[in-house]
């Protein structure tokens, strides 16, 4: 969930834009903090002046909160927090990626001041109520216009009244699962950006070809190695219920998966299969996938790192785990040995896909609406996808692709992405994937997690 090097446009810019200056200041600040070894709170945009608040139609200070539009001659300010849980390919908290997005976009849209990831924004992107406060303009210190968030929350976010439908999607060859996830009551509330699914990573063709949880477990046992079979995190109030829903779809087919969001009725066959999958993690009397070992914040990358080092036979997670695996390979490690497959969590393999989409504030009308439409068109273009997917914001010598899943099929046809066998495998494995439900899980996820965990940890 590297570094960034960018070459923007074909002609030199007449000078840094306000957004470029902001991001350069952020990057210098991050360097100073690292050098000095101290911490300092970032300007939250709540005071007047720099970071201050502008009135309706006016302009706020740097990174603060401006109005929706502005008077004649003023630029339209568009504030957009991006989905934060993507590989930080540059190790700079995505600052250089934001800088390039702003610079490229503003070069083509000189009347718009794009603010990507405004520092004042600190809301949890999985908290619809908190997102609604910023989107509705109720937080005078940090109003935002467009937010990228997970469509598993779309129903709850629509219910707040803080977002409105988009008039249309930008032209693209959209993955149907992303469009379905972004649609609520027949209206398009989200412009899909990233998709996400569960994968296994191994070095064995039998593990790669396993089509059920039982086949996977058998293939891992047949390897007859001294290493543990599997590593990954099965905990979390979002994670474990989502794995259960994916296993349910594997076992029963994806149609009707929303009915599996329940705290009163669990599918026995799904729990049996998910239990088989979970037990592949057992080693020397413990199960680090279930006992909290891999759920600790400091261990988020440990399963991928252990697999890269050959300390476990396989690992599971989202496609972007491959970014960490490749960065963690020991000297002489061969990326071509790694085999990627859709995780068979149930009695079958019918992948479900999450979608992270751009939603727009109901306040965003007129000039703001035009700016928002231009922004999502830029973010949806194959060329924009290509450089973000390829981690071109990172220095060439340390660059590792992010291995995110694009919301459009067009993105996989870009030259750099089309030449990458891992990206082509990701596309092929998920081309027929279906959407996770886009509402209903928020309020029951913790209870579902507790119920499922109790079953998985009970004696077989």
Q: What is the pLDDT of residues 157-185, one digit of tens each?
A: 999 999 999 999 999 999 999 999 999 99
How far out from the chain centre does Cα 179 lie? Answer: 16
Predicted pLDDT of residue 451 = 98
103, 19 Cβ separation under 8 angstroms? yes
Model confidence pLDDT, tens digit, residues 250-282: 999 999 999 999 999 999 999 999 999 999 999
How long is the chain? 460
Query: Alpha-carbon distance 209 to 25, whole Å?
Result: 49
Does the fold of domain 199-350 match that of domain 18-31+72-195+355-422?
yes
Look at residue 51 and tell me whether its pLDDT is greater than 60: no
- In the chain, where the domains are located: 18-31+72-195+355-422, 199-350
The predicted model gives 180-195 an average pLDDT of 99
Predicted pLDDT of residue 35 = 32
Nearest Cα to 118, choosing from 75, 70, 82, 69?
82
The predicted model gives 392-417 an average pLDDT of 97
232, 324 Cβ separation under 8 angstroms? no
Name the token pair of 126. 């999985």
Q: Would you say the C-alpha torsion 119, 66, 192, 262 has a positive or negative sign?
A: positive
Look at residue 10 and tell me whether its pLDDT is greater than 60: no
3-state secondary structure 73-88: CCCEEEEECCCCCCCC
Q: May I ask the CATH architecture of the domain 199-350?
A: 3-Layer(aba) Sandwich (3.40)
Q: Which class does domain 18-31+72-195+355-422 fall in?
A: alpha beta
Name the residue with higher pLDDT: 63 or 206: 206
User: Whole-model pTM?
Assistant: 0.85
């Amino acid at each position: 969930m590297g570094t960034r090097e960018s070459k923007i446009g074909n002609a030199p810019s007449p000078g840094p834009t306000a957004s470029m200056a902001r991001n350069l200041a952020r990057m210098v600040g991050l360097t100073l903090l690292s050098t000095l070894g101290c911490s300092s709170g970032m300007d939250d945009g709540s005071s007047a002046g720099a970071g201050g608040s502008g009135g309706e139609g006016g302009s706020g200070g740097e990174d603060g909160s401006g109005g929706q539009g502005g008077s004649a001659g003023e630029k339209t300010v568009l504030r957009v927090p991006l989905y934060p849980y993507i590989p930080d390919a540059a190790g700079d908290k995505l600052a250089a990626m934001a800088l390039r997005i702003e610079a490229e976009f503003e070069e083509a849209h000189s009347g718009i001041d794009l603010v990507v990831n405004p520092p004042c924004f600190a809301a949890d992107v999985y908290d619809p109520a908190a997102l609604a406060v910023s989107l509705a303009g109720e937080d005078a210190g940090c109003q935002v216009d467009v937010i990228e968030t997970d469509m598993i929350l779309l129903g709850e976010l629509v219910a707040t009244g803080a977002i409105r439908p988009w008039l249309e999607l930008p032209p693209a060859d959209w993955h149907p699962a992303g469009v379905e996830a972004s649609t609520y009551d027949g209206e398009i509330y989200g412009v899909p950006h990233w998709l996400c699914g569960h994968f296994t990573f191994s070095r064995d063709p039998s593990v790669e070809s396993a089509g059920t949880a039982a086949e996977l477990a058998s293939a891992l046992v047949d390897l007859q190695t001294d290493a543990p079979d599997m590593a990954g995190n099965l905990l979390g109030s979002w994670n474990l219920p989502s794995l259960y829903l994916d296993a349910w779809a594997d076992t029963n087919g994806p149609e009707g998966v929303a009915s599996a969001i329940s705290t009163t009725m669990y599918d026995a066959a799904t729990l049996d299969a998910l239990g088989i999958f979970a037990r592949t993690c057992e080693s020397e009397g413990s199960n680090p996938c279930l006992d909290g070992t891999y759920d600790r914040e400091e261990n988020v990358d440990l399963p991928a790192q252990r697999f890269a080092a050959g300390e476990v036979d396989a690992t599971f997670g989202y496609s972007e785990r491959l970014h960490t695996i490749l960065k963690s390979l020991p000297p002489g490690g061969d990326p071509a040995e790694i085999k990627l497959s859709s995780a068979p969590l149930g009695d079958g393999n019918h992948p479900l896909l999450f979608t992270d989409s751009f939603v727009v504030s109901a306040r965003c009308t007129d000039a703001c609406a035009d700016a928002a439409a231009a922004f999502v068109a830029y973010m949806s273009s194959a060329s924009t996808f290509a450089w973000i997917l390829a981690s071109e914001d990172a220095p060439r010598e340390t660059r590792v692709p992010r291995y995110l899943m694009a919301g459009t099929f067009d993105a996989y046809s870009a030259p750099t992405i089309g030449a990458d066998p891992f990206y082509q495998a990701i596309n092929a494995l998920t081309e027929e994937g279906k959407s996770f439900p886009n509402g209903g899980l928020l309020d029951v996820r913790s209870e579902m997690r507790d119920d499922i965990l109790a079953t998985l940890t009970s004696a077989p």
